[in-house]
């Protein structure tokens, strides 16, 4: 689990010998160490660059104080600390085991017994945290360690004692989008109920292998957190009722962590009818117990199942692989998604001769929205992929390609619905999943069964941080677009006084933070402002623009608010240049703002074919070949990305690679010039040196300025 120490790492802190690295974050590094008795411990050391920063040291001390208040029921206990020396550090209990996120990624969703054990352990931990008057604020699968003695909740880095109203620095993102409660997204007051909401989402992740509100763009996830209901029907029996109550939108409607624990204890017959005894002690004992009774079919109100004698058990079990059958087709979709029968190295389809050499045909798949509200994204991707396959087969290769289409209808559950067909068709590799939410839903299964994928459109930054080995994308993420936009602004002027605006949502705050931080490195004066989410009246903000004399404005929100902001500013005589995120890269921006949008500058990860006043030679040639193959029609947005994603897979076939394992290994050595990007993948599946494209609104259209690294604004 631990990695070797780096040359600059210390080998000793106080009485502790450091033996390896467990991880690193923005605040500090975590080391594996041993105390004087040889016992393993985890040692968190504040980064050297922060040791002389009073605010950073204060946050580190607050983390210690908060963590020490929590009793050691299913949490990693603090054992020692030194926060007064030159290099502050905190020593805590070492839990030998993967995080819940890593466990589900590697072994698949949990079975019912393991899920119930997880629920009791983590509810016990939250009840202990809240009893100490602490709110965790970042409860998620990554912060639950799965040791042999049961789950342990860790990381109090952004936890707060109730009543602590210390301001948060602007650049701090508090919480993780997929597990944030509605009040966190809205910027309202948070409390213990916020952790209870995150607990419910974490249980859904453990049962399904996917985040409770999707994993695509941050704005889409936040919208679902605020307005959509999570599907708790995938959970067994009465556990669905408990988790459903925890995911109530209004915090006052959620049960407390202790109420959740009591209901779980009652479910397994471990409640105390007299009310005597500490439920936290009972919960902590139960996590080392084998829960043998399956609770899936126990209706609400039924007598609780019995608990078998204590026995140490593995934290989860991997679902068995088997061929699809009538039995699998008859069980619920959520369950069948857990045991999809992908073969590790499926047999190649025989009898389909290709080329003059009479070779083998390999089946590839395209996964994306071909109907529904997102079809305008999926269909162009498929068109690009079809062109790539047709051109490849026309060359008469020994290993030919067969492209099979799978329509997700733009829904995450659609990705699960097509998965059994992918298994039946013995697909070796995928072009897709096309959208971030689809990728989040399918990638854990593809990962488990070694089916490589190359997405032409998934841009969520979190996808590359999952540790997947078979996931790849040919587009940069949205944060990269914000960085590129700031660099473009610095190179084109730069502005002297910039107003940076967000609307309080996590997406807007994050992009605004990225833009602001980048500008401040160039000594630009930044005035930070916030407006209500979904605001339409920006009069006060416009008056501030005029009073401050800003010469540039960045808005981190989406086009429905960006359009009226620009329109009102221009009507009041504000001449500052507007910089907008890729969330405003939509034709509706110019429709709503009219001529006021003229001159606005944006960046996007896609190469928009409707604005090709500047093109690469590769793209110009692609336009000609696409038109010839499609009766003179021009490609729509994301067709070129679909073409590039398909060609990445086809290059592997041309090199003689036939199985998913071989194709995936080839991706690690790939270096080809695509239409939109040079295709070279990092170990995380990202594009190396990805190009972000810059655009400017001219005559009501998004006009391509070119590669954002070299583009100039007129």
* Residues designated as active site: 138
How far apart CA 118 and CA 152 sit, in angstroms, is 9
- Asked, as a colleague might, if the bond just before 506 is cis with ω within 30 of 0, I would say no
How far apart CA 175 and CA 178 sit, in angstroms, is 9
Contacts of 197 (CB under 8 A, 6+ apart): 179, 180, 181, 182, 246, 247, 248, 251, 254
Instruction: Provide the token pair at 428.
Output: 């070796």
Q: What is the DSSP letter of 48?
A: G
How far apart CA 583 and CA 93 sit, in angstroms, is 43
Q: What is the DSSP letter of 610?
A: G
How far apart CA 465 and CA 63 sit, in angstroms, is 25
Contacts of 36 (CB under 8 A, 6+ apart): 15
How far apart CA 618 and CA 621 sit, in angstroms, is 5
Tell me which long-range contacts 326-329 makes (C-beta under 8 A, separation of at least 24): 328/420, 329/420
Q: Exposed (0-12), middle (13-18) or buried (19+): which is 84, by Cβ within 10 Å?
A: exposed
How far apart CA 235 and CA 203 sit, in angstroms, is 9
Give the residue from 503, 548, 556 showing the smallest Cα distance to 527: 548
Instruction: Provide the token pair at 191.
Output: 């409390």
CB 81 within 8 A of CB 66: no
In three state form, how does the secondary structure of 161-208 look?
A: ECCCCCCCCCCCCCCCHHHCCHHHHCCCCCCHHHHHHHHHHHHHHHHH
């Amino acid at each position: 689990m631990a990695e070797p120490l780096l040359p600059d790492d210390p080998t000793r802190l106080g009485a502790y010998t450091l033996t390896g690295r467990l991880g690193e974050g923005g605040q500090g590094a975590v080391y594996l160490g041993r105390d004087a008795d040889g016992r393993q411990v985890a040692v968190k050391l504040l980064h050297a660059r922060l040791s002389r920063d009073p605010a950073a040291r204060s946050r580190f001390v607050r983390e210690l104080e908060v963590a020490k208040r929590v009793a050691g029921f299913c949490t990693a206990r603090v054992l020692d600390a030194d926060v007064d020396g030159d290099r502050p550090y905190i020593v805590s209990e070492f839990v030998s085991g993967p995080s819940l996120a890593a466990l589900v990624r590697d072994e698949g969703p949990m079975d019912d017994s393991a899920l119930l054990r997880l629920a009791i352990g983590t509810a016990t931990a939250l009840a202990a945290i809240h009893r100490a008057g602490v709110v965790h604020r970042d409860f998620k699968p990554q912060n639950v360690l799965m040791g042999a003695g049961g789950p342990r909740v860790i990381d109090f880095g952004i936890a707060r004692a109730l009543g602590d109203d210390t301001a948060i620095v602007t650049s701090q993102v508090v919480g993780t989008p997929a597990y944030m409660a509605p009040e966190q997204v809205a910027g309202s007051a948070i409390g213990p109920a916020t952790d209870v909401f995150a607990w419910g989402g974490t249980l859904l992740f453990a049962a399904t292998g996917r985040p409770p509100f999707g994993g695509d763009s941050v704005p889409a996830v936040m919208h679902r957190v605020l307005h959509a209901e999570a599907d708790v029907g995938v959970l067994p029996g009465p556990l669905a009722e408990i988790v459903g109550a925890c995911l109530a939108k209004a915090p006052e409607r959620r049960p407390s962590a202790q109420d959740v624990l009591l209901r779980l204890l009652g479910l397994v017959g471990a409640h105390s009818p007299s009310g005597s005894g500490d439920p936290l002690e009972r919960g902590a004992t139960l996590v080392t117990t084998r829960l043998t009774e399956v609770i899936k079919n126990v209706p609400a109100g039924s007598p609780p199942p019995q608990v078998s004698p204590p026995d140490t058990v593995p934290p989860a079990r991997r679902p068995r692989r088997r061929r699809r059958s009538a039995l699998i087709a008859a069980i619920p979709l959520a369950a069948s998604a857990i045991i999809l029968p992908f073969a590790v190295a499926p047999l190649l389809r025989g009898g389909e001769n290709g080329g003059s050499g009479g070779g083998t045909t390999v089946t590839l798949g395209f996964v994306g929205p071909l109907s529904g509200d997102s079809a305008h994204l999926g269909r162009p991707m498929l068109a690009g992929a079809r062109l790539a396959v047709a051109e490849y087969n026309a060359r008469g290769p020994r290993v030919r390609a067969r492209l099979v289409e799978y329509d997700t209808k733009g829904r995450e559950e659609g990705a699960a619905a097509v998965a059994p067909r992918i298994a039946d068709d013995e697909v070796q590799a995928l072009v897709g999943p096309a959208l971030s939410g689809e990728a989040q839903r399918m990638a854990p299964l593809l990962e488990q069964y070694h089916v490589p994928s190359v997405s032409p459109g998934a841009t969520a930054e979190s996808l590359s941080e999952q540790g997947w080995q078979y996931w790849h994308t040919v587009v940069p993420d949205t944060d990269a677009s914000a960085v590129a936009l700031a660099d473009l602004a610095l190179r084109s002027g730069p502005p002297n006084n910039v107003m940076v605006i967000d609307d309080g949502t996590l997406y807007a705050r994050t992009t605004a933070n990225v833009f602001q931080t980048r500008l401040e490195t160039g000594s630009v004066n930044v005035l930070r402002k916030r407006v209500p989410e979904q605001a339409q009246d920006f009069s006060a903000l416009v008056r501030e623009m005029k009073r401050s004399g800003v010469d540039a404005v960045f808005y981190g929100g989406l086009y429905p608010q960006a359009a009226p902001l620009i329109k009102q500013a221009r009507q009041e005589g504000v001449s500052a240049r507007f910089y907008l995120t890729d969330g405003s890269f939509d034709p509706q921006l110019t429709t709503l703002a009219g001529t006021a949008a003229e001159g606005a500058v944006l960046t996007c990860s896609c190469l928009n074919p409707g604005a090709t006043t500047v093109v690469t030679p590769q793209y110009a040639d692609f336009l000609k070949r696409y038109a010839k193959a499609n009766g003179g029609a021009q490609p729509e947005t994301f067709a070129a990305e679909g073409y590039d994603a398909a060609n990445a897979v086809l290059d592997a076939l041309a090199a003689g690679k036939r199985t998913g394992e071989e194709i995936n290994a080839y991706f690690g050595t790939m270096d080809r010039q695509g239409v939109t990007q040079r295709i070279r993948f990092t170990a995380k599946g990202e594009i190396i040196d990805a190009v972000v494209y810059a655009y400017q609104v001219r005559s009501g259209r998004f006009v391509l300025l070119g590669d954002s690294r070299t583009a100039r604004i007129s």
